[in-house]
Amino acid sequence: MKVAVLGCGLIGVSWTALFLVHGHDVAVWDPSPTARDGVADRIALPMAQLVELGLGKGRSRGRLISCAEPEEAAQGVDLVQENAPENVPLKRALYTRVDAAAPVDAIIASSTSSLVWSDLAVGMTHPQRFVTAHPFNPPHLMPLVEIFGRDPATVSRAEAFYQDLGRRTVRLRRDAVGHIANRLSSALWREAVNIVADGIADVAEVDAALVHGPGLRWSVVGAHMAYHLGGGPGGMAHYLSHLGPSQERRWSTLGKPVLTPEVCDLLIAGVEAEAAGRSVAELEAERDAGLIATIKARDIS
Amino acid sequence: MKVAVLGCGLIGVSWTALFLVHGHDVAVWDPSPTARDGVADRIALPMAQLVELGLGKGRSRGRLISCAEPEEAAQGVDLVQENAPENVPLKRALYTRVDAAAPVDAIIASSTSSLVWSDLAVGMTHPQRFVTAHPFNPPHLMPLVEIFGRDPATVSRAEAFYQDLGRRTVRLRRDAVGHIANRLSSALWREAVNIVADGIADVAEVDAALVHGPGLRWSVVGAHMAYHLGGGPGGMAHYLSHLGPSQERRWSTLGKPVLTPEVCDLLIAGVEAEAAGRSVAELEAERDAGLIATIKARDIS
């Protein structure tokens, strides 16, 4: 297969490594020649990590092709993965260009995290072939891809494409800002900020509680299923009838923090204490090692 | 060491297995003779799982002692772990009994998930030795123990005790309903319910997105640290100045679901579809296998 990657930032590079390891030829484009010419070097680490995970085993690597224009990248592709900045007019203009250049049955997929299908598809000649396909950072390691589109056949084809890359696809019934994962992340972080702002615990303690408690459990069992198990043999029905009212009371007491300068200072000082001198690059390397160990152990990718 | 376990439900049995594997003698008491006499059989599975995790290696097992009265269980102990129902007068009455019977330097720890230190300590002769020490279900597998107490020396002793059991302790600055972990869980579940109630996605898709996305990442990197990494080389300060306002807007759009009969029906039918015929016991066994594989791979217990 041939895939076009439009936008060669962190997410575009991550997708490129994943596609190449699975044997797809990848035509990359970015308005910055430096960015697109740097892809060859920047894919080295993610490709090595993917090989460590055993992805693409037995497949020969695809070819990396650098293109000066998006139309050139879209020639003869099966799928376009767009990773441009989160700006509706900019993305729409790009779709107009590739919509005309790509084969009529090619899927056009957006990695957008904060924009929605209905806003992005406006003006497309073939909106039925457009989907949002949102990965979770770091995209080459995280199995999740959240998909929404209006044409069920296109959505099914997109799901099959990403599943072949070892991804776990999730289908939305309707488009929503933040899809599922970022809505859940935002809701949790609001309370995580509140706990710090309200003096209940420090940043590092909140993070440690999450990693060794709910986070660890949510890497195995979803939030709904956890309450089903919490209900004992009667499951979710028993849980809701016995503890539903107390959950609603708990919801009403959750915080509504504001990111005032004081709260921001607490958060910044708190993560600095948690980082304990480790740079962002060192912390990312530790994160990747932890993710790789977990994914290998659980065989979830 | 000798430990008393008061209340032999799921949590009491889980603690008992953990204490025994680490070589502590455990005196168990429950108002129900059937419950306390059943402990010997019910600890078999959690003890086998703890051995699989390599916990307590090189230590000889402690002795299990069944007691007819809480005062008897508290004789000569180093720590009392109370797991009675979540009822303030009931717990206070129990503390009065063991406060008089336990050695004066013994720690009295409550597993309470929804009550707070300030309410529970009322009336104790020695409140300085009282802490809340909340585990996360299933308690013998999950590393987290959230601790709050008013006497720093007692809190430090309690931390050392649980850390010796391979636990990851987290210290609260002040007591709060739901400590940290259940507040975060409640906040996330509110949005997880909203996504279903609002027709964005089904229960099974929400759970799959969490498990393969934020849950997996939160098992490695906390929520605050994730935004620090999301800020690139500038870290949390850069993230807050650039994306803080959009997070505040996102917070204002998160749902405020109500557990109406219709929403409850959606949740119950949704987890039934997700369970796909698996019983709660089968689902628990799968959860435990996933947790054990993850904990072994990451060496986090």
A130-135/A144-149 β-pairing: antiparallel
- Give how far the C-alpha of residue A102 lies from the chain's centroid of Cα atoms, to the nearest Å: 25
> Across the A/B interface, how many CB contacts are shorter than 8 Å?
386
**A250 → closest Cβ in B186, B206, B228:** B186
Apex A5 CA angle, A167 and A103, nearest 5: 100
Cross-chain residue pair A218–B223, CB shorter than 8 Å:
no
DSSP B86: S
Question: Which chain B residues are within 8 Å of A181, Cβ to Cβ?
Answer: 209-210, 213-214
Cross-chain residue pair B274–A227, CB shorter than 8 Å:
no
Query: What is the pLDDT at residue B298?
Result: 82
Among chain A residues, CA nearest to B258: A248
Q: Give the domain ranges of chain B.
A: 2-171, 181-298
**A297 → closest Cβ in B210, B283, B297:** B297
User: Length of chain A in residues, anyone?
Assistant: 301
Produce one character per residue of A34-73: b if its CB has 16 or more CB atoms within 10 Å, e if not: ebbeebeebbeebbebbeebebbeeeeebebebbeebeeb
Query: What is the pLDDT at residue B232?
Result: 86
How far apart (Å, rounded) are the C-alpha atoms in residues A81 and A110? 6
Alpha-carbon distance A148 to nearest alpha carbon in chain B (angstroms): 10
Q: Is the ipTM of this complex over 0.90?
A: yes
Query: What is the pLDDT at residue A78?
Result: 98
DSSP A256: -
The yes/no answer on whether domain B181-298 falls in CATH 1.10.150.110 is: no
Question: Which chain B residues are within 8 Å of A297, Cβ to Cβ?
Answer: 293-294, 296-298
pLDDT > 70: percent of chain B: 99
Query: What is the pLDDT at residue B99?
Result: 94
Residue pLDDT tens, chain A, 301 long: 999 999 999 999 999 999 999 999 999 999 999 999 999 999 999 999 999 999 999 999 999 999 999 999 999 999 999 999 999 999 999 999 999 999 999 999 999 999 999 999 999 999 999 999 999 999 999 999 999 999 999 999 999 999 999 999 999 999 999 999 999 999 999 999 999 999 999 999 999 999 999 999 999 999 999 999 998 889 999 999 999 999 999 999 999 999 999 999 999 999 999 999 999 999 999 999 999 999 999 876 5
Cross-chain residue pair A230–B137, CB shorter than 8 Å:
yes
Model confidence at B108, in pLDDT bands (50, 70, 90)?
A: very high
CATH superfamily for A2-171 is NAD(P)-binding Rossmann-like Domain (3.40.50.720)
Question: Which chain A residues are within 8 Å of B297, Cβ to Cβ?
Answer: 293-294, 296-298
Alpha-carbon distance B218 to nearest alpha carbon in chain A (angstroms): 5
Q: Which of B185, B205, B239 to mutate to test the interface with A (most CBs of A within 10 A)?
A: B185
* B32 phi and psi angles, rounded to 5 deg: -95, 115
Greatest alpha-carbon span in chain B: 62
- Give how far the C-alpha of residue B276 lies from the chain's centroid of Cα atoms, to the nearest Å: 27
Cross-chain residue pair B224–A246, CB shorter than 8 Å:
no
DSSP A59: P
pLDDT tens track for B201-216: 999 999 999 999 999 9
- Give how far the C-alpha of residue A120 lies from the chain's centroid of Cα atoms, to the nearest Å: 18
Alpha-carbon distance B147 to nearest alpha carbon in chain A (angstroms): 11
**Burial environment of residue A251 by CB neighbours within 10 A (0 to 12, 13 to 18, 19 or more):** middle
**A210 → closest Cβ in B223, B228, B296:** B223
Q: Which of B217, B239, B251, B264 to mutate to test the interface with A (most CBs of A within 10 A)?
A: B217
pLDDT exceeds 80 at position B76: yes
Cis previous bond, A138, omega within 30: yes
**B224 → closest Cβ in A230, A253, A270:** A270
**A173 → closest Cβ in B201, B290, B295:** B201
**B229 → closest Cβ in A187, A217, A284:** A284
Radius of gyration in angstroms for the set of CA atoms belonging to chain B, rounded to a whole number = 21
The candidate with the shortest Cα–Cα distance to A267, out of A171, A206, A193, is: A193
Among chain B residues, CA nearest to A244: B259
How far apart (Å, rounded) are the C-alpha atoms in residues B128 and B151? 5
Alpha-carbon distance A220 to nearest alpha carbon in chain B (angstroms): 6
Question: Which chain B residues are within 8 Å of A187, Cβ to Cβ?
Answer: 187-188, 190-191, 251, 254
CATH superfamily for A182-298 is N-(1-d-carboxylethyl)-l-norvaline Dehydrogenase; domain 2 (1.10.1040.10)
Alpha-carbon distance B286 to nearest alpha carbon in chain A (angstroms): 9
- Please tell me whether residue B284 adopts helix, strand or coil conformation: helix
Q: In sequence order, which ranges of A4-151 are alpha helices (DSSP H)? A: 10-21, 33-37, 39-42, 44-52, 70-74, 88-101, 117-120
**A248 → closest Cβ in B259, B268, B280:** B259
Alpha-carbon distance A280 to nearest alpha carbon in chain B (angstroms): 6
Q: Which of B155, B218, B265, B272 to mutate to test the interface with A (most CBs of A within 10 A)?
A: B218
